[in-house]
Amino acid sequence: MDVHVSHGAIQETQADTLIVNLFEGVTAPDGATGAVDSALNGTIRDLAEGGDLKGKLGEVAVLYPRGVIAARRVLIAGLGPRESFDLEAARRAAAAAARRACELGARRLASIAHGAGSGGLEAAVAAQATVEGALLALYRYRRDDDDTEPDSFTLVEFDAGRLAELELGLRAAEAISAGVRLTRDLVNAPPNVVTPEHLADTARELARTHGLTIEVGDRDWIAERGMGALLAVAQGAARPPAFITLEHNPGGGDEAPIILVGKGITFDSGGLSLKTSSGMASMKQDMAGAGAVIGAMKAVALLELPIRVVALAACTENMPDGAAYRPSDVITASDGTAIEIVSTDAEGRLVLADALHYAKRYRPRAVINLATLTGSCVTALGEGVAAGLFCNDEDLRDRVLAAGRKTAERAWPLPLYDDYRCAIRSKVADIKNSGGARNGVGTSAVFLEHFTDYPWAHLDIAPMAYSDDKGPYTPAGGTGYGVRLLLELLRSEVA
């Protein structure tokens, strides 16, 4: 879909569908909505005064001008109460309008930037929120003949002095949405398609297209680096593992990077600690952490961020064949830590252990890992509510939380208590890979912390990576959670 900014009056724009807005309780529209209302001889005012248009967030009214203006239809998106309006309201309003336009068969959409006027948002951030909401709402993994994406989306601005700002916001939204869409595609695709090698090929294509540096380690490469934890998980899988390193380094120097680490279990059967059939059904999405960091790197490259960013993805299947690792095995991670295996279904923390240790060679200024790590986190925070955040650095924690608030990809801080460390003490090794169901989410985090010596944040995205129900701008399936949060965090580093 072509996305661009245009200078002019919205009511004169040559598009089949115009999108304006209205705050809840407003009966006399002003600004761009007022201009469209005047062109339509007060029709929007009549709807609002009569109670047929309330301006509630998510509400979309449809008007047919019947030749009074060039557009076939006008959509009025509710923004909700003015006093609670924010970036998320702008995204949701744009999403609701875009979805309704698509249902009506619109091909050419033209919208104002929601909140850039009386909403009090800066033009660039209003533009970004509007375009993000629309693009993410229109995502489909598969489309049928009756569900086609529009050909164009135009952001219209009357004030020529604000066009450059809107262009910046639009381009940011386009790049970030492309990263989210890639992540959603990877999570939604079947596990016989998205294998470790497929993730590696996706990363290779990103590197080729966007000038990133890439290295993909195969089983021998992994073994040469002593990554015994990753190798143990990969033992039972017929498909070979892959350790992906993607780097964006526009300056070409050796500055300390920010490192993004993703869990890439492309299918999780539980191994010999076999999941139930119902528990296994959605386990194609256990690579959502790796998907998020790969999607984030696409956005980083498109935005040409002037910052060094490295993505690491440890990828394998977790399968139960005769060569599979067993409960009671003791394996050795790449830092020399001996790990007693309590459950082969606690495999994500094992592959991350080797990735987190590998990150040390970069002497990073911060490392953020994302993983669909525990069902306990879903129980603790609720499905679709927030990711769990564990962090060993207060400043990094606060920056991750702030990025989550701004993007509405919420995270909630959880503790790294010593009690959890006690729960994974082992009599036959240095640590155990599980503290049992009663200590799940906390013990998984302190296990990971064992392999860090830098500012580190762990996002357990199990509650957020996949949803059976559609959200305001998220269809059912892979959500792409984490990409927008990471980009907000990275962009704040160079602001």
List the catalytic residues. 275, 349
The b-or-e profile of 426-463 (16+ CB within 10 A means b, else e) is eeebbbbbbbeeebbbbbbbbbbbbbbebbbbbbbbbb
Let me know: does 489 contact 400? Beta carbons within 8 Å.
yes
DSSP letter assigned to residue 240: P
Neighbours of 329 (CB within 10 A): 17
Neighbour tally for 369: CB within 10 Å: 29
**Amino acid of residue 267:** F
Please list the residues that pair with 389 across neighbouring strands.
Answer: 413, 459
Residue 283 is given by DSSP the state G
Calculated CA dihedral for residues 359, 360, 363, 368, nearest 10 degrees: 40
Query: Regarding beta strands 17-22 and 108-111, do their DSSP bridges make them parallel or antiparallel, or are they unpaired?
Result: parallel
Residues composing the chain: 495
Q: Please check whether residue 144 is in contact with residue 101, taking contact to mean a CB–CB distance below 8 angstroms.
A: no
Instruction: Measure the CA angle with vertex 358, ends 400 and 314; round to 5°.
Output: 75
| DSSP one-letter string for 34-89 | HHHHHHTTTHHHHHHHTTS----TT-EEEE--TTSSS-SEEEEEE---GGG--HHH
